[in-house]
Structure 1
Amino acid sequence: MSDFLTLAGKRALVTSGTKGAGAATVALFRELGAQVLTTARSRPAALPEEMFVAADLTTIEGCATVAQAVLGRLGGVDIVVHMLGGSSAPAGGFAALDDAEWQKELALNLFPAIRLDRELAPAMIAQGSGVVVHVTSIQSRLPLPEATTAYAAAKAALSTYSKSLSKEVSPKGVRVVRVSPGWIETEASVRLAERLAKEARTDYEGGKKIIMDSLGGIPIGRPSKPAEVANLIAFLASGRAATITGSEHVIDGGTIPTA
């Protein structure tokens, strides 16, 4: 019997693929047979040079460098996974967010996807096939006013853009989907839980509970693992999801309290 899921022969770009769910997605795509290129500001020693492009995707020049590398080194592209995202905005609610902070959040969480799609989607349209996966966030529907207003707004913009793009390019053979994670137990979130635990004089599990409580609870009692997010992305990028487009797929352990 053939494998249920394969990406054999597919050419893929996964942005921000050196840590967390991005690294898990790169690893799974390779395991499933895809030829994968990933990007970040600097290459970790464990990642082969032929799989990597060093670039700052918050800049126009960085996006152009990556797009050129994808088309030149892979000879085209079948799957683009926009994993890049994050926030460095200060706490303090809306009043703490000046124009520079807003620009940083948009430059990281919205514009890289727009610029790379503009460069790479035409090649998919020309070949009549392709998949674009925009990784958004449940924060777009469940923002935390104290700390994630700008990040949540940028991810909401990405989600709306993704839906519009899907309506335009799906009739031309290119599927566009959104993956919306909740809290993922990445290296960064582990450090956050450990810091909160230390401040509250509790253990790591206590630190995790502090984060889960701030989200209103996670019914399954834990965050998602990076590999679990990668599993969803791989399925949506595969031929098994051939009629899925324009949709958002939440992976949050039940955090969002409504359907």
Structure 2
Amino acid sequence: MGFDLGLNGKRALVTGGTKGVGAAVVQALTVEGVRVATTARTVPDKASGNIHYIGADLMTAQGCAKVAEEVLQALGGIDIVVNVLGGSSAPGGGFAALTDEEWQKEIDQNLMPAVRLDRALLPSMIAQGSGVIIHVTSIQHTLPLPDSTTAYAAAKAALSTYSKSLSKEVTPKGVRVVRVSPGWIETDAAVALAERLARDAGTDYEGGKKIIMNALGGIPLGRPAKPGEVADLITFLASSRAASITGTEYVIDGGTVPTA
């Protein structure tokens, strides 16, 4: 007996789906027969024919409104929303380096796209009595790095709390809300960071990875997660196989966050 996820023909929006974890989620869902729309600031020149790309800046209310409208029009409805979009451009230097503008950018990138898209797309899910919303948070909201991720971590903590509250409200109406909290993921950007740190320290790529892992307090698994591993977890949680899972957070960090 095969492990059918029951996703064939479902309709999904994946934010930030042209690179990293987002791209891996798009691929994983597409393999399962999901009709996928995804977002990026700029639509790729060589866009896949079976993926609907939407060019928009989700850090703005206007960009979120455009995406929601186009998704519902292109797909005829929505069954799954995976909010992968996130990141940080805040400077190092601790709390004193974080101006009001830096705080606002972190909130606009890591919290408000999910809030705005949920507000626009949830009514159609509630009307059909089914749907799944998955918000990608981060272990940073429980294990922040004070020198550089305070604002990012706080925004992800807000996303996590918002997600829990939302799950209590909409789960009785047929819509599941789940959080996925990754640790360090070996994306192209992470590889570039490790390579830069390696050059600065006069070591190789593996040495650069160890520098990052040491900064996180160590990863018991001995390596970062792969984007595809995170995407596999998200795909399962979006499926009917996870029909009883809602309101909770799944950590995928190789054991980085110490637990009792």
What range describes the TM-score normalised by the shorter chain of this pair?
over 0.9
Deviations 1:1-49 (A, max 9, x none): 3443241010000000000110000001000010000001011223236
The amino acid across from 1:204 in the alignment is Y
Partner of 2:190: 189
Provide the C-alpha distance between the structure 2 equivalents of 1:91 and 1:10, rounded to a whole number of angstroms.
42
Paired with 2:218 and 2:184, the residues of 1 have a C-alpha distance of 11
Q: Distance in 2 between matches of 1:46 and 1:143?
A: 37
Equivalent residue runs for 1:63-78 within 5 Å:
63-78=64-79
CA distance in 2, matches of 1:44, 1:218: 34
Structure 1: 5+ residue runs without aligned partners? none
Code of the residue aligned with 2:47 in structure 1: it is: L
Establish whether residue 11 from structure 1 lines up as the match of residue 4 from structure 2: no
Q: Match of 2:146?
A: 145
Q: Which residue of 2 aligns with 1:206?
A: 207
Output aligned runs, 1:120-131, within 5 Å. Answer: 120-131=121-132
Where 2:176 maps in the other structure, the secondary structure is strand
- Quick one: which amino acid aligns to residue 82 of structure 1? N
Query: Superposition pairs for residues 174-253 of structure 1, below 5 Å?
Result: 174-253=175-254
CA distance in 2, matches of 1:235, 1:210: 32
Q: Which runs of 5+ in 2 are unaligned?
A: none
**TM-score, length basis structure 2:** 0.98
Number of the residue aligned with 2:35: 35
- The whole-number CA distance in structure 1 between the counterparts of 2:182 and 2:43 is 25
State the distance in 1 between where 2:12 and 2:2 align. Answer: 22
Contact persistence 1:25–1:230 (CA under 8 A): yes
Counterpart code for 2:36: V
SS at match of 2:164: helix
Once residues 136 and 147 of structure 1 are traced to their aligned partners in structure 2, the CA distance between those partners, rounded to angstroms, is 17
Partner of 1:36: helix, strand, or coil?
A: strand
SS of the residue 2:250 aligns to: strand
Give RMSD over aligned pairs.
Answer: 0.9
What's the % identity of the aligned pairs?
A: 71
Q: Equivalent residue for 2:21?
A: 21
SS in 1 for 2:196: helix
Give the corresponding residue for 2:54: 53
Map of 1:94 onto structure 2: 95
Normalised TM-score (structure 1): 0.98
Structure 1 runs, 4 residues or longer, greater than 6 Å off: none
**Cα separation, 1, equivalents of 2:207 and 2:2:** 44
* Separation in structure 1 between the aligned mates of residue 46 and residue 89 of structure 2, nearest angstrom: 27
